[in-house]
Amino acid sequence: MDILKGLNQRQREAVKWAQSPVLILSGPGSGKTMVITHRIAYLIKELGVNPFNILAVTFTNKAADEMKKRVAKLLMAGRGSQVAGRRSQGNKRQATSDMPWIATFHSTCARVLRHDINQIGFDRNFVIYDDLDQLNLIKECLKELEIDPKQYRAPAFAAAICRAKENLIDYESYLIYTKTREDFYREMTAGVYEHYQKKLFKNNALDFDDLIMKTVELFREKPEVLEKYQERFIHILVDEYQDTNHAQYAFTKLLASKYKNICVVGDEDQAIYAFRSADIRNILEFEKDYKECKPEVFPLSMMEDYRSTQPIIDLANNLIVYNEERRKDKGKIILPKGKKKRKGPVPVLQELPDELEEADYVLGEVRRLHGEKKVPYHDMAVFYRVNAQSRVLEDAFRKARIPYAVVGALGFYEHKEIKDILAYLRVLINPKDSLSLKRIMNVPPRGIGKVTIQRMMDFANKKKITLWEAVRKVEEIKGLSSRSQWLVKNFRNLMFKYMELTRSLGVGELIKKLIKEIGYIRQLEKADTFTSEMRIENLKELIDAANQFEERNEDKSTQAFLEDVSLICEIDTWDDKAKAVTLMTLHNAKGLEFDTVFITGMEEGFLPHANAFREEMELEEERRLCYVGITRAKRHLYFTYADRRRLYGTTYWGLASRFIAEAGIEREEMAVPRGERFKVGVIIIHPEFGKGKIIKATGFGEDRKVEVVFAGGKRKKLAIKYANLQRI
DNA sequence: GATCAGTAATGTGGA
DNA sequence: ATTACTGATC
């Protein structure tokens, strides 16, 4: 039973229980990844499940990679002794890989669609559009629908379409929905959505949300396809279940509906993606969904924390009880491992005059901890709510010559030069991709200007053919000068040549040759601007990445490479072994841990963010975000806020975040004037309701009123004058 | 047709 | 502050 070694009782149960759907509620630092990986290993080694029949879904590639590594390690250990006991569960025909399928939702769906999307009338060679491509395509739609892009913003349509897809609402449904109410704007959105979707189809492209939605569509429309995958993925595990949206929920539900061997792991207190339609109810109501879930056993909650010291755990617990939308059944506060309190330094709260001094303060502490406490740089992180806050911090780190790494901002694959080259690859694979074709036709400049491209597009629209076909038939286009035609023909020959080469060359070699032939680097050198050098470096890195991809993967095709890079996100490429302090948003911080954590910008309007003030639900999400931040810290934790903060060219006058008081981080100066006894954070006893904590306080003296959360979760507004409260 | 300069619009979080 | 778009100039 070596797989169970080193696990506590709860964790063992979670690993072993294979007879029903399983919900595991895992608090921060409770060994969630360990449970998932050990469960996978247990299924394979102890129960004889074929790895081929296991699917584990995560939200980032980084999490997937980490999980793969750990599973591989577990499977390697004691190899040989267990193999004899392995019983294959069907699917003997198919090649058995030693490793289960561990990947993100998006790449899992992409893979399914690569195989079977033709069954619902799509081309299997589709390309994947990122959000910038999406935005450009929507702009095209607006133009064609003659909607004034100044009056109606393209990003607003993009967001609406994303939200719709995340909830599995296709444009037909969206249209029907709008018909039931008189909403001009929604009707317009429905029109854009329809047009956008048809254009995607013409380009043979899918956007991110399509990957999930089309897979669900495929499963629903083709039961035989669904069954194929149900037989393939007999055991399903989902990580970060609290962050699944409706589409992802439907995907897992469909897959699991046959064998019901589904194990989901999550923590609603760490749900921070409602803004992209993650639905916290998925985890709150898991047992309703899966009736076979044994309520006497599950949910299994793991609230023992192996990560943080007691003072940090206390703050996290203090803060999170202010949220109402939580599962009430798990007595949910984090407990230190083994009931033994781990001592540690008291978290620090520091007020600063402005964002520059805030950065200086952080730097000072980084230096001190590095020097005095020997905390390595890579074990420290600075968190902030919005990406824009990173600039000042970066400057400070650069000046101080302390190594740092920013996660976020502009990702490698979002750089213009990289996107240009990738657009070439896309067209080579899928010439129907008119958006990418338009992008590269004159990059680097080869004399094919806007007018020429517009004429070709008009021609294509008139003849109902794609832009690429228009390129092929350029001789037939009237109104183009012979010079233009000649230039287009040259471009066409170039593309023909590379379409051939795509078949014979590896993707690394292909990119290298292509960049050279089109003179991309030459043109950058000529431009010799501030960024040229960096861009050339980036291109070299791209070639590198392609070569590495070929080394690492079985499928070395350009197609596979494109898919890989399309689905990479920023956190995936961040290397935590680098000897650098990490700067990132609170959203990116989930799932990570550091010895030292700085949470900066603890101000009303930033954390909680001003856009979250309207609804209690949104405020709770901000609180969870703060909770996530706090619980990343193993030992040292800092909060900073600035009285005055310049951002986006304006000055914001900051008030200390309400979360500071809620978490019970007190500074002397923060006490209410005239020494009010009943202030926020104070624990009281009420003669009728018992023990509670003050979460809001208004008025002074005789008029003092407080809002209290009582132990059972009840909230009451009380006047000090009448309610006989005792401080404890 | 390419390039540059000035103007206008925008700013939460992300696969 | 940065970027996207427009119009004027080469």
Catalytic residue among A11, A134, A270, A596: A270
Nucleotide nearest to A135 (CA to C1'): C4
In the prediction, which pLDDT does A338 show?
A: 64
Provide, in whole angstroms, the distance separating residue A156's CA from nucleotide B7's C1': 23
Asked if pLDDT for residue A411 goes beyond 80, the answer is: no
Higher pLDDT, A88 or A472: A472
Catalytic residue among A239, A304, A351, A662: A239
A42-51, A308-317, A330-339, A375-384: the lowest-pLDDT one: A330-339
Considering chain A, what percentage of its residues have pLDDT values greater than 90?
A: 52
In the prediction, which pLDDT does A93 show?
A: 31
A547 CB-to-strand B distance under 7 Å: no
Provide, in whole angstroms, the distance separating residue A451's CA from nucleotide C9's C1': 18
Q: What is the mean pLDDT of residues A568-580?
A: 75
A18-32, A170-184, A250-264, A591-605: the lowest-pLDDT one: A170-184
Band of residue A82 on the pLDDT scale cut at 50, 70, 90: very low
What letters, b where the CB count within 10 A reaches 16 and e where it falls short, cover A70-86? bbeebbeeeeeebeeee
Catalytic residue list contains A365: no
In 3D space, the residue among A310, A192, A178, A267 whose CA is nearest the CA of residue A591 turns out to be: A267
Higher pLDDT, A287 or A219: A219
Higher pLDDT, A310 or A151: A310
Considering chain A, what percentage of its residues have pLDDT values greater than 70?
A: 92
Band of residue A577 on the pLDDT scale cut at 50, 70, 90: low
Catalytic residue among A32, A623, A624, A634: A32
Kindly report the number of other CB atoms within 10 A of residue A681's CB atom: 17
Which residues in range 159-178 of chain A are in contact with strand B, contact meaning CB within 7 A of any of its atoms? Answer: 159, 162, 166
Asked if pLDDT for residue A81 goes beyond 70, the answer is: no
Asked if pLDDT for residue A96 goes beyond 50, the answer is: no
Which residues in range 619-678 of chain A are in contact with strand B, contact meaning CB within 7 A of any of its atoms? Answer: 621, 648-649
Asked if pLDDT for residue A703 goes beyond 80, the answer is: no
Higher pLDDT, A89 or A32: A32
Q: Could you read off the pLDDT of A290-312 as tens digits, one per residue?
A: 988 887 777 788 888 999 999 99
Tokens found for residue A653: 């006058």
Nucleotide nearest to A647 (CA to C1'): C1
Provide, in whole angstroms, the distance separating residue A153's CA from nucleotide B8's C1': 14
Band of residue A667 on the pLDDT scale cut at 50, 70, 90: low
Q: Could you read off the pLDDT of A528-551 as tens digits, one per residue?
A: 666 777 788 888 888 988 998 998
Return the CA Rg of chain A. 28
In the prediction, which pLDDT does A701 show?
A: 65
Where do we find the tokens 């208004």?
A: A698
In the prediction, which pLDDT does A572 show?
A: 75
Report the SS3 class of residue A676: coil
Q: Could you read off the pLDDT of A348-368 as tens digits, one per residue?
A: 999 998 899 999 999 999 999
What is the spatial distance between Cα A687 and Cα A417, in angstroms, rounded to a whole number?
A: 69
A600 CB-to-strand B distance under 7 Å: no
A209 CB-to-strand B distance under 7 Å: yes
A386 CB-to-strand B distance under 7 Å: yes
What is the spatial distance between Cα A390 and Cα A407, in angstroms, rounded to a whole number?
A: 10
| Average pLDDT of chain A, as a whole number | 87
Kindly report the number of other CB atoms within 10 A of residue A278's CB atom: 24
In the prediction, which pLDDT does A332 show?
A: 64
Higher pLDDT, A573 or A403: A403
